Structure 1
Amino acid sequence: MADEITVLVNPAARGGRTLRLLDPVLQRLRASGRPVSVIVGTSAADALSRAREAVAAAPAALVAFGGDGLVHLAVQALAGTAVPLGIVPAGTGNDIAGALGIPRKDPLAAADVVTAGGLRTIDAARLGTGEWFAGVLACGFDSRVNERANGMTWPPGMAKYLVALARELRSFTPIPFRITLDGEAVEREAMLVAVANTRSYGAGMRVCPDARPDDGLLDVLVLGAMPKGEFLRTFPRVYLGGHTAHPAVTLRRARRVEIEALHGAGDVVAYADGERAGPVPLTCVVEPGALRVLVP
């Protein structure tokens, strides 16, 4: 139905705060007088399949009710189509919503944006695998922490990531990368490489604070090799964007970004929008105007 709002809910959500917020959000959306349907897949793959079927029917919007990971899933169904993306943030970081001015801590206000907001056309980036991302792709220290944390069963919650960070820091060494920007290659040892369509990831880490999602370019940050003590002093500055003046930081813009880990680096995996995108080498290409988003 052309006026129907389809709401995509995280298939991994099992009670708790996220689902407690769902009913009030659905009521607010239905108060607009439009029909509202809900998609909850049995898995991420099933949710994506259902989302693609819904988008093929050309609803008024596909709304991601969740965090950046669910927005990432919705983008796989929406990129390159005319169906708008709505976001009702209900995750931990909600960085993509924040970059677009969508209320991150008030789900009902975000629901009002879906029904009464305007349309904004933004870029998205596509990997060589065909996967899209709307926010930030990163590989290096932070992706190694993610890999380690995802393999742990204890402790629960954010404590798992803190333990993984401390363990990874003990063993981490700078990674030798070859990074090619619009055909221009440079080889450099780095702690972190980030490719950004929006400014932040990881619950507010402003890795590329000047990134704009509608300029037809990807912002690329390389944090060069440094001693661990210096890294510990520098890394927290990312939350305020204060790291960009550090001499080990390089910031560039490009339409096409190729990342390769050189011989001896071991396994290097990238994460996009907080989701595992797979090992390097990989290529990111910006696709201007690939997404339509409902914004304030």
Structure 2
Amino acid sequence: MSAPVTLLVNPAAGGGRALKVLPGVQARLSAAGIEQDVRSTNSLDHGRALAREAAAAGRTVVTLSGDGLVGAVAGALAGVDGAVMGVLPGGRGNDFARVAGIPPDAVEACEVIVDGVVRPVDLGEVDGSPFIGIASLGFDSDANRIANAASARLGNLVYAYGALRALVSWTPAAFTVTVDGEEHTFSGWSVAAANSKAYGGGMFLAPDADLHDGKLDVVFEAHCSRLRFLRILPMLFKGTHVEQPEITVLRGREVSVEADRPFTVYADGDPIGELPATIRCRPGAVSVLLPPESSVAR
């Protein structure tokens, strides 16, 4: 790769992890002869603006951050002619990197920036707001809100912490989910529309989702006891929960969701919309540097 790079760094990502690994990342890219500049982001909107500015100047936009900035930049560059983004893991969850086969060590992951292959990647969107990973709501709304307010010292455990705290006050909700025109109603825990396989720091909610297939995997969990929920929860780390009778998995291009009470929709770790919501797939919307022999995580 010879195009100059703009590194977008979220200073707060991963409890400051991004800043700690930045010198090593810069040294590795410089050793490969890649000219670079570094820009710190102070919000997702700021990151989007910086990404568009860099792309307009013909620079490859590389995020050193968590999934929130990855999704924001991907959305900002979607449909922009010639725009290319790269991803270096610098947050707590780093689920996009995990699924895409990007090494978990940011300096090692620089090899993907140096020798990677540009491939089109699908995006999802919630009422027009783009995301790259998984949009979810219901119980997940409560768990995400709690996790986002928790101490960064918890690391990846913050998502499990959020789920356990949310469990205390959770009551089942009634959902109506329509996938490509087919309606499903149920009482239960959550609904998710997955562009990617994983969220929450390695939870494989949608183990068969594909970043390149032009569809969303729709996963929802029907009502069960709290004890049963706690037994299913660890299965997410291997993706085996989809074998349980409480779990339904569908696939489609457009999903609409309603519920009997308000829920915030979260995606890439951040709030992205409110119910009722329509979630769509945008096939091949953004060009991303991926490993030459990208092995999708299982």
Instruction: Tell me if TM exceeds 0.5.
Output: yes
Report the counterpart of residue 142 of structure 1 in structure 2.
140
Contact 2:241 2:247 in 1 (8 A): yes
Contact 1:135 1:272 in 2 (8 A): yes
Letter in 2 for 1:69: G
- Residue 284 of structure 2 is aligned to residue 295 of structure 1: no
For residues 191 and 15 of structure 2, the distance between their equivalents in structure 1, rounded to whole angstroms, comes to: 36
- Indicate the percent of aligned positions where both proteins have the same amino acid: 40
Contact 1:39 1:51 in 2 (8 A): no
For residues 234 and 226 of structure 1, the distance between their equivalents in structure 2, rounded to whole angstroms, comes to: 10
Superposed CA deviations along residues 69-107 of structure 1, whole A, max 9, x for unmatched, are 121121122112231210111112111111111111x21
For residues 213 and 158 of structure 2, the distance between their equivalents in structure 1, rounded to whole angstroms, comes to: 37
Report the counterpart of residue 62 of structure 1 in structure 2.
61
Contact 1:270 1:278 in 2 (8 A): yes
Report the counterpart of residue 132 of structure 1 in structure 2.
130
Gaps (5+ residues) in structure 2?
292-298
The TM-score, its normalising length taken from structure 1, stands at 0.90
Report the counterpart of residue 85 of structure 1 in structure 2.
85
For residues 98 and 160 of structure 2, the distance between their equivalents in structure 1, rounded to whole angstroms, comes to: 24
Contact 1:55 1:77 in 2 (8 A): no
Report the counterpart of residue 37 of structure 1 in structure 2.
37
For residues 151 and 22 of structure 1, the distance between their equivalents in structure 2, rounded to whole angstroms, comes to: 25
- Residue 7 of structure 2 is aligned to residue 7 of structure 1: yes
Deviating runs (4+, > 6 A) in structure 1?
A: none
Equivalent residues in 2 for 1:103-142, closer than 5 Å: 103-104=103-104, 106-128=105-127, 130-142=128-140
For residues 95 and 254 of structure 2, the distance between their equivalents in structure 1, rounded to whole angstroms, comes to: 23
Q: CA deviation at 1:144?
A: 0.6
- Residue 279 of structure 2 is aligned to residue 284 of structure 1: yes
Letter in 2 for 1:36: Q
Contact 2:13 2:91 in 1 (8 A): no
Gaps (5+ residues) in structure 1?
none
Q: CA deviation at 1:290?
A: 0.5
Q: CA deviation at 1:131?
A: 1.5
Q: CA deviation at 1:146?
A: 1.9
For residues 15 and 196 of structure 2, the distance between their equivalents in structure 1, rounded to whole angstroms, comes to: 30
Report the counterpart of residue 264 of structure 2 in structure 1.
269
Superposed CA deviations along residues 153-173 of structure 1, whole A, max 9, x for unmatched, are x79645766664444212101
The TM-score, its normalising length taken from structure 2, stands at 0.90
SS of the equivalent of 2:146 reads helix
Q: CA deviation at 1:57?
A: 2.0
Q: Which moved more, 1:182-191 or 1:36-45?
A: 36-45
Report the counterpart of residue 100 of structure 1 in structure 2.
100
**Residues 29/151 of structure 1: CA separation in 2 closer, same or farther (3 Å cut):** closer
Superposed CA deviations along residues 165-209 of structure 1, whole A, max 9, x for unmatched, are 444212101111111111111111121111111111001111110
Figure out how many residues of one structure are paired with residues of the other and give that number. 288
Contact 2:159 2:201 in 1 (8 A): no
Contact 2:159 2:200 in 1 (8 A): no
Q: CA deviation at 1:217?
A: 0.8
Report the counterpart of residue 295 of structure 2 in structure 1.
none
Q: Which moved more, 1:232-241 or 1:76-85?
A: 76-85
For residues 239 and 115 of structure 2, the distance between their equivalents in structure 1, rounded to whole angstroms, comes to: 32
- Residue 216 of structure 2 is aligned to residue 209 of structure 1: no
SS of the equivalent of 2:241 reads coil
SS of the equivalent of 1:243 reads helix
Contact 1:124 1:197 in 2 (8 A): yes
**Residues 13/134 of structure 1: CA separation in 2 closer, same or farther (3 Å cut):** closer
Contact 2:14 2:66 in 1 (8 A): no
